[in-house]
């Protein structure tokens, strides 16, 4: 347990005793334009998934504290959100499933504070580069943000599509690797070469003229081809920073094996190391997962589906037992 050491009285404004927040994980499928020549930089595509989630339970407490995976990070998020709302951090966070990224929503709920996902992101210092986490939390599905403009606000959501749940996603997890984050991520962006205008043009064209229409028409082959091409082009651009097209050599070998077998909708979420592969049916996903468990025993293999809804938030009113 992490405890901040404060021992103040609970604020009278509290209207809830406990808030449970559970949100699906999301795949970051790539940036659209790192150059920003048109006035907006980055732009992101994301897909919310079921089967892997982040979950927290926040209860009113006379002192701020946190338990569970990444409790230290949870406590920092709690204190930052409380400072932004102008209220004391009188709550205890139980992280039931990492990552504890939704504490602001729970803390606001404890005190009856009206909020929007964008406001919560700003309170927690999130959404500085990508807005897909905000959109995934609010709505789920496949989401596209418009990149960072001149303001410090999180990027706006510009497109959303219901992703067919009958198309499973196979996740390839490498517990021995970690993707870039923090200072290393900032340095990587600084050191990368200029983002070619032709690459940005191609990525945006794939998004608007292939990926989104193909999702609307339930055309799996075109969806897989668009995502696969985007991922390979971006993987090659980021290769100098992550040691190759894919961060994890083991994941890369497995993805290459899938491509040779004709599975084109493969890639890596964000900086990795987690890889993914799209399948047209649950039966095919099961067969591919079984093959991967045999051919890549060092990797964790999970089959998940798209999540086309936002986070689940359950409120227990003050004076009542939690459900």
pLDDT at 213: 98
Q: Are 41 and 148 in contact (CB under 8 A)?
A: yes
pTM over 0.75? The answer is yes
Residues 177, 144, single domain; the answer is: no
Let me know whether 90 and 201 are in one domain. no
pLDDT band at 242 (very low <50, low <70, confident <90, very high): very high
Q: Are residues 173 and 145 in the same domain?
A: no
Give 151's pLDDT tier (boundaries 50, 70, 90): confident
CATH number, domain containing residue 295: 3.30.70.890
Query: 323 lies in a domain?
Result: no
CATH code of the domain in which 103 resides: 3.30.230.10
248 and 181 fall within a common domain: yes
Residue 5 has pLDDT above 80, yes or no: no
182 and 154 in a common domain: no
- Quote the mean pLDDT of the chain: 87
Alpha helices in 99-248 (DSSP H): 103-110, 117-124, 132-138, 182-191, 197-206, 212-216, 220-242
Does residue 87 register a pLDDT over 70? yes
Q: Is the pLDDT of residue 236 over 90?
A: yes
In this prediction, residue 321 carries a pLDDT of 43
Same domain, 8 and 95: yes
In the predicted structure, residue 98 carries a pLDDT above the cut 80 = no
111 and 197 belong to one structural domain:
no
DSSP string, 75-111: HHHHHHHHHHHTS---EEEEEEES----HHHHHHHHT
Question: Is residue 2 over pLDDT 60?
Answer: no
Whether pLDDT at 159 is above 90: yes
pLDDT score recorded for residue 99: 52
Residues 132 and 244 in one domain: no
Q: Domain check: are 176 and 294 in the same one?
A: yes
pLDDT in tens, 19-44: 888 888 999 999 999 999 999 999 99
Q: Which domain holds residue 33?
A: 2-161+309-317
Structure-model confidence comparison of residues 83 and 236, the more confident one: 236
Do both 7 and 146 map to the same domain? Answer: yes
Taking alpha carbons only, the member of 323, 321, 307, 314 closest to residue 105 is 314
Poorest-pLDDT segment among 81-85, 162-166, 262-266? 81-85
pLDDT at 201 over 90: yes
State whether 111 and 16 are in the same domain.
yes
Q: Does some domain include residue 103?
A: yes
Please tell me the total count of domains within the chain: 2
Does 322 reside within a domain?
no
First and final C-alpha spacing in the chain: 24
Average pLDDT value for residue range 99-114: 72
**322: enclosing H helix or E strand:** none
């Amino acid at each position: 347990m992490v405890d901040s050491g404060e021992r103040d009285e609970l604020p009278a404004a509290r209207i809830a005793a406990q808030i449970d927040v559970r949100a699906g994980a999301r795949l970051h499928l790539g940036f659209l334009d790192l150059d920003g020549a048109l006035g907006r930089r980055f732009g992101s595509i994301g897909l919310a998934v079921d089967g892997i989630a982040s979950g927290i339970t926040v209860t009113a407490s006379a002192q701020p504290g946190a338990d569970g995976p990444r409790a230290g990070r949870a406590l920092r998020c709690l204190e930052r959100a409380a400072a932004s709302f102008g209220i004391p951090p009188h709550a205890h966070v139980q992280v039931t499933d990492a990552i504890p990224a939704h504490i602001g929503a729970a803390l606001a709920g404890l005190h009856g504070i009206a909020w929007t996902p964008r406001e919560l992101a700003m309170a927690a210092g999130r959404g500085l580069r990508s807005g897909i986490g905000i959109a995934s939390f609010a709505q789920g599905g496949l989401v596209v943000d418009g990149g960072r403009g001149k303001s410090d606000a999180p990027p706006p959501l510009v497109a959303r599509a219901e992703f067919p749940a009958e198309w499973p996603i196979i996740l390839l997890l490498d517990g021995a690797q970690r993707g870039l984050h923090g200072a290393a991520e900032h340095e990587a962006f600084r050191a990368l070469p200029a983002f070619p205008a032709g690459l940005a043009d191609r990525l945006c064209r794939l998004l608007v003229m292939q990926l989104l229409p193909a999702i609307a028409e339930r055309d799996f082959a075109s969806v897989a081809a668009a995502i696969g091409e985007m991922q390979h082009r971006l993987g090659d651009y980021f290769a100098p920073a992550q040691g190759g097209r894919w961060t994890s050599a083991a994941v890369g070998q497995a993805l290459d094996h899938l491509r040779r077998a004709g599975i084109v909708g493969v890639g890596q979420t964000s900086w990795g190391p987690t890889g993914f592969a799209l399948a047209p049916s649950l039966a095919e996903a099961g067969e591919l997962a079984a093959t991967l468990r045999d051919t890549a025993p060092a990797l964790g293999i999970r089959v998940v589906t798209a999540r086309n809804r936002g986070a689940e938030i359950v409120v227990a009113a003050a004076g009542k037992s939690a459900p």
